[in-house]
Structure 1
Amino acid sequence: MSAVWDLKRQLQIATNSHDLERVLDCYSVDAVYVAPAGIAEGHEQIAWHYEQYFKGFPDFHATAWLELADCDNPAITEWTYTGTHTGPFLLPDGDEIEGTGRRITVRATCAAHVENGKIVTHREYFDQLELYSQLGFGLARLNSTIV
C-alpha cells in the first residue's frame, strides 16, 4: 500500500468520525478542494465545506466501494455517502434549509492528488440533483429559488 492511499484512508477515517482537525491534517495549507458546490482554497475554506455536511448530516458516512488500484497519484475512489438530514444545510442559491429528517444515499467519486505527504488538490464529483431530490426538492423548487 502506498503513502498516497494511506493518506486517503486517513481522510476517510477522519471524515467518518467528523474530526475536522484530522481532516485538515490530510490537506496542505494551500490545498484546493473542488466540489459541485464550488471551490474551496486553503484550510479555512476546506473546513467550512466539511462543516456544512457535518452540521447538516450529523451521521454523515463515506463508504469506499472502489479504489482505482492501478492509479496511485491521484488516488481515485468511488464512494457511497449516507446520512440523515437533521441539521441546517446550505443550498446552492445561498438559502439554508433546516433538517428534513430524510435519509440520503448519494454516489460519488473523487480524485486526490498528493505531494509531500499532503493532499494538494481534491476533486469531488456527485450528482447534486440526486442529493436534493432525496431531500425533497425537485427541479421546480431549485429553479424557483435560482434567479
Structure 2
Amino acid sequence: MGDARDVLNRLNAEVNTARDHAVLRDLYAPDAVLTSPNWDDVRGPDGAIAYLSSWTDAFPDVADEPVAQYEIGNVAINQYITRGTHTRPLVGQSGTTVPPTGNSFELRTCDIIVVADGRIVQHHIYLDVADWFGQLGLMPESPI
C-alpha cells in the first residue's frame, strides 16, 4: 500500500467514524482543492472540512461501503455505495438550508485524491446529485 492509499484510508476513517476536524485538517494541504458536483470548488483544509461536515451534519449515519479501490502512484481512487438518512438540516455552500426530510438514500459515489508530501492536494468527489435529491424527496415527480 502506498502513501495515497494510506491517506485516503485515513480520510475515510475520519469521515465515516471519528470525524475529528484536527485530523481532517492535517490530511489536506494548505492549497488543496476539493471539487464536487453540488458545491463550487473549495480550497484548503477549512474548505474541505466545511464540505465534508455538510454531509456528516445532515446525515449523521452516512457511511461509505467500498466497492473498488485503486492506486496509481500518488493517486488513490475509491468507488463506494454511500448510504445515509437526512435527519438534520443540510446546509449548502451559500448557507441555504434544506430541512430534514427523514428520507434515506443509497448512491454510487467516487473519491479521487492526489497526494503530495503525505497530504491531499486535490480531492474530486463524484455523485449523481439528481438521484440523491430524488431519493431525499427534493426533486419534482417525473411527468413520464
Percent sequence identity is: 27
Larger relative strand fraction: 2
SS for the counterpart of 2:134 is helix
For residues 20 and 82 of structure 1, the distance between their equivalents in structure 2, rounded to whole angstroms, comes to 22
**Residue 72 of structure 1 aligns with which residue?**
73
Contact 2:26 2:45 in 1 (8 A): no
| 34-43 vs 14-23, greater mean Cα deviation | 14-23
So what's the TM-score if we normalise by structure 1?
A: 0.86
RMSD between superposed Cα atoms in Å: 1.8
> What does residue 50 of structure 1 align with?
52
Name 1:6's counterpart in structure 2. 6
1:42-80: per-residue Cα shift (whole Å, max 9, x none)? 1221111111111110111122210124x2321111112
Amino acid in structure 2 at the alignment position of 1:130: D
SS of the residue corresponding to residue 10 of structure 1 reads: helix
| TM-score between the two structures when normalised by the length of structure 2 | 0.88
Number of equivalent positions: 139
Contact 1:5 1:72 in 2 (8 A): no
Provide the residue aligned with 1:41 in structure 2: 43
Between the aligned partners of 1:19 and 1:115, the Cα distance in structure 2 is 22
Alpha-carbon separation, structure 2, partners of 1:135 and 1:61? 16
Aligned-partner Cα distance in 2 for 1:103–1:44: 28
Unpaired runs of 5+ residues, structure 1, are 141-147
What are the within-5 Å matches in structure 2 for residues 116-135 of structure 1? Answer: 116-135=117-136
TM-superposition CA deviations, 1:107-135 (whole Å, max 9, x none): 11121000000010001111101110010
CA distance in 2, matches of 1:30, 1:19: 20
The amino acid across from 1:16 in the alignment is N
Does the CA-based 8 Å contact 1:111-1:123 persist in structure 2? yes
Q: How far does the alpha carbon of each residue in 1:64-98 deviate from its partner, in whole angstroms, 9 at most, with x for none?
A: 210124x2321111112111100011358863111
* Aligned-partner residue type, residue 82 of structure 2: Y
Q: Post-superposition shift, 1:139?
A: 4.9
Task: For 2:31 and 2:108, locate their aligned partners in 1 and report how far apart those are by CA, in whole Å.
Answer: 27
Supply the distance in 1 between the matched residues of 2:125 and 2:103 (Cα, whole angstroms): 23
